Structures are given as C-alpha cells and as structure tokens.
C-alpha cells in the first residue's frame, strides 16, 4: 500500500509495528481486564518521536503529516485499541491542537514536555449535557484581574486521571459561539479529576470527569483571543476523526487476520471451516470493506495534508472515512466472533475485545449519526466537488 505512503511513512510503519508487538501486545488483554493503563508504553513513545508526531522539531516534535499520524493509529490499533485511544488523546487532541493554535510562548513552554512523554495530555470539550451538541458546552470562564476563573465540569475525558496538561474549551460569553480555549495544568487551584468511568470497551484507556471549582488559570493560558475558538475546535475535530478512523482500520485488520488463521485451522465435518462458503464470504466481505475503508481514510488524511483543514474535500472525505471505517470495523469484529463460534465469545480469544473497542469509535469523536448530519448538511449546501 504505497499509494499514500512515502519512504518515511513506510519506515515509520515498521518501527511502530515492532514497538506495538514488543511493548503493547503482551499487556493488552490483561489491561483490558483490569481497566489498567500502559503508562510506560505511552511515555516510551516519546523516545520514538511519536508523541509529537505533527509538532515542529523546534519544540521536540517529528514534523510529520496526518497520513503519518493515521498510520501510527492503524499499527497501534491492530494491537491494543485502547492504548491507541490514549495515544490519540495525547498526540492529536492535546499536542496537535496546541501546535496548530497555541502561541509561541505556550508552545515553547508545553510542547517539549508533551513530546518527550514527561507530561501526558488530554482534551476536554464534552460535558454531561453537551456531547453531540458540543457547541452547547457550559463550562464558564470569567476574567478576574490577571486570571480566568473556570466553573463547571467536563465528561468523558480520555487520559483524565493521568494527564498533566488539559486543552479545555469554555464559554466566555452568552452566545453559543463564545467559546475560548484554556490550557489547564493538573496542579492549578480549583481543578480536580472526578470519577473514573467503568466502560464496555477501550478499558485500558482511562476516561474520567473533570471538575473546575473556581479554578484559577493565568491569563497567559488563554489560547488566542476570547471567543475565537469555535472554528479551530471544529477543524481539530476533523483531524481527530481521520486519525481515529485509523484505529478502526487496525481493529478490522487484526480481526480479519485472526479469524482467517482460525478458519483455516479449525475443522468441523472433517474440513477446515474456511472451506464453508458462508465462512469465507464473511472474510471476503470483511477484506473488501477494510480495503475500502483504508483507501478512503488515507485519501482523507492526504487531502488534509494537501488542502488543509478548511477544504470541503477534506471535510467530506474525513467525515465519510470516520463513518465508514468505524461502522464497518464493528461489523467485521462481530463477524470474527461468529467465525470463532463459542471460542470467539470467550475472553480466551482477542476478538471479543476487538468488538468492544471497535464500538466506541461509532460514538467518540462524533457519533455515526452526527457524521451523517455533517455529510447531509454539506450535500444540501453543495454537491460534493468532483461528483
């Protein structure tokens, strides 16, 4: 698959694959069971230059593109999707957002620590009553002297219990568009981490509530100017959606590979179950769907790299990639369970974990329904360029 990959991408893919197999795979099942966190592997990714994959080298990053970030998600996602989700929250939601939108002083202060793995990052947009309607967020920020005082809560925050750095969206005015971004350190007065959530899947990626009770944030930690964040918040979501589709690709690929090997090995009626056309059909369909999702996702990533985040092409391709890759991954992982029969339904085999992890990607970073709302809305405005 070199249509979208250059030599740097191919070398990166090999490095990440080796790292995932040696540092992440051995603990994936155990950490899923215990709802643990492979903090050591996440921090070690700093040594490989993965934590600041899109950040500038001046600040300790690797200065790579969205295609590179997506392929890292696919390689890690094929081994442990939940460690990959935590990696995504750090490298894309925190680091990439800061790189793209922070001031020089903010980048110089925070990026080196985040790129090295000394600090873990998170992004806090969602709230208990503002999920799909992200613009309806209610966390309030008021300027008092040389500080902003934040009051309210955030919900569903990946890496919440471990993060040192939070990229936080809050309201600084009465209208929906009055959204501002603040950099909050975990030690800031008035900030605390709420309960860790007990989840169906992505269990080795810690998720929590965050509480801001008269939380004091220095004025220099306001990103840009007040009420200027709505457009970059949406643009950042597009990068999140394309890269998270990479996790769906990894899960699909792992499920197909596992189920194919199993179907060739497992005998019933004196022949490998692969010989039964109903079984090979599931694998053939899964392969075609994975390959279609893969082409679409990397095309979306390459389009962002070429045309930027505000192009209609990038929006349509990225939104479609997230919808298609996530939706198909859940089906592919369900079929893998079917192919393994009763064994697939047990925790002795990894495919049930793949399915539980895959389901999250139909919800997080915008649900399937919201992807359709975006695509439908855009089609209503204008026909997709190139149709």
Ligand X SMILES: Cc1cc2nc3c(=O)[nH]c(=O)nc-3n(C[C@H](O)[C@H](O)[C@H](O)COP(=O)(O)OP(=O)(O)OC[C@H]3O[C@@H](n4cnc5c(N)ncnc54)[C@H](O)[C@@H]3O)c2cc1C
Q: How far apart are CA 283 and CA 289, in angstroms?
A: 10
What does the alpha-carbon distance between residue 39 and residue 204 come to, in Å, rounded to a whole number? Answer: 10
Q: Which residue lies nearer to ligand X by CB, 233 or 256? A: 233
155-190 residues labelled b (16+ CB within 10 A) or e (exposed): bbbbbbbbbbbbbbbbbbeeeeebbbbbbbebebee
Rounded to whole angstroms, the Cα distance separating 317 from 128 reads 29
Annotated active-site residue in 240, 289, 352, 362:
240
Q: How far is the CB of 132 from ligand X (least distance, A)?
A: 3
Other C-beta atoms closer than 10 Å to the C-beta of 152 total 19
Whose CA is closest to 182, among 148, 131, 146, 210?
148
Compare residues 25 and 373 and give the one whose CB is closer to ligand X. Answer: 373
Please identify the residue of the shown chain whose CB is closest to the bound ligand X: 131
Whole-number Å distance between alpha carbons of 336 and 266: 13
Output the smallest distance, CB 340 to ligand X, in A.
Answer: 25
Least Å distance, CB 138 to ligand X, is 13
Output 183 or 340, the one with its CB closest to ligand X: 183
Please state the closest distance from residue 337 (CB atom) to ligand X, in A: 21
- Tokens 């700093």 belong to residue: 46
Residues near ligand X, by CB under 6 A: 89, 93, 123-126, 131-132, 156-158, 199, 202, 207, 360, 363-367, 369-370, 373
Least CB distance from residue 112 to ligand X, whole Å? 23
Closest CB 287 distance from ligand X, rounded Å: 28
Concerning whether 39 is annotated as a catalytic residue, the answer is no
Angle at alpha carbon of residue 177, lines to 171 and 181, rounded to 5°: 45
Nearer to ligand X, 377 or 386 (CB): 377
With respect to ligand X, which residue has the nearer C-beta, 102 or 366? 366
Rank residues 280 and 368 by Cβ distance to ligand X and give the closer one.
Answer: 368
- C-alpha distances (whole Å) from 296 to each of 3, 176, 245, 313 are 12, 33, 10, 12
- Name the 3-class secondary structure at 187: coil
Q: Which residues contact 330 (CB under 8 A, 6 or more apart)?
A: 355, 358, 359, 361, 362
Catalytic residues: 240
């Amino acid at each position: 698959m070199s249509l979208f990959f250059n030599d740097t991408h191919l070398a990166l893919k090999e490095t990440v694959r080796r790292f995932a197999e040696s540092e992440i795979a051995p603990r994936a099942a155990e950490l899923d069971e215990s709802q643990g966190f492979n903090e050591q592997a996440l921090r070690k990714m700093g040594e490989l230059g993965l934590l600041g994959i899109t950040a500038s080298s001046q600040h300790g990053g690797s200065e790579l593109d969205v295609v590179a970030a997506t392929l890292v998600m696919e390689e890690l996602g094929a081994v442990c999707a939940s460690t990959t989700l935590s990696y995504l929250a750090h490298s894309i939601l925190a680091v990439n957002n800061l790189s793209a939108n922070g001031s020089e002083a903010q980048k110089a202060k925070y990026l080196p620590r985040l790129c090295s793995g000394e600090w873990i990052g998170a992004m806090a947009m969602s709230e208990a009553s503002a999920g799909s309607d992200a613009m309806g967020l209610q966390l309030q920020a008021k300027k008092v002297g040389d500080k902003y005082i934040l009051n309210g809560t955030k919900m569903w925050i990946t890496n919440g219990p471990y993060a040192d750095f939070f990229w936080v969206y809050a309201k600084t005015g009465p209208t929906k568009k009055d959204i501002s971004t603040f950099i909050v350190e975990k030690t800031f007065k008035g900030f605390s981490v709420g309960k860790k959530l007990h989840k169906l899947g992505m269990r080795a990626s810690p998720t929590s509530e965050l509480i801001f009770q008269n939380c004091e944030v220095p004025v220099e930690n306001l990103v840009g100017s007040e009420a200027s964040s709505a457009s970059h918040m949406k643009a950042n979501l597009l990068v999140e959606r394309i890269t998270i589709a990479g996790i769906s690709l990894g899960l699909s690929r792992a499920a197909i590979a596992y189920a194919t090997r199993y179907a060739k090995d497992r005998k019933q009626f004196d022949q490998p179950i692969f010989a039964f056309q109903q079984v090979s059909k599931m694998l053939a369909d899964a392969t075609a769907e994975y390959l279609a999702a893969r082409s679409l996702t990397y095309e979306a990533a390459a389009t962002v790299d070429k045309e930027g985040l505000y192009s209609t092409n990038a929006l349509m391709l990225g939104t479609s990639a997230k919808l298609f890759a996530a939706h198909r991954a859940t089906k592919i992982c369900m079929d893998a369970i079917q192919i393994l029969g009763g064994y697939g339904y047990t925790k002795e085999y990894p495919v049930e974990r793949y399915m539980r992890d895959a389901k999250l990607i139909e919800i997080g970073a915008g649900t399937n329904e919201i992807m359709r709302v975006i695509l439908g809305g855009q089609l209503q405005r204008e026909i997709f360029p190139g149709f």
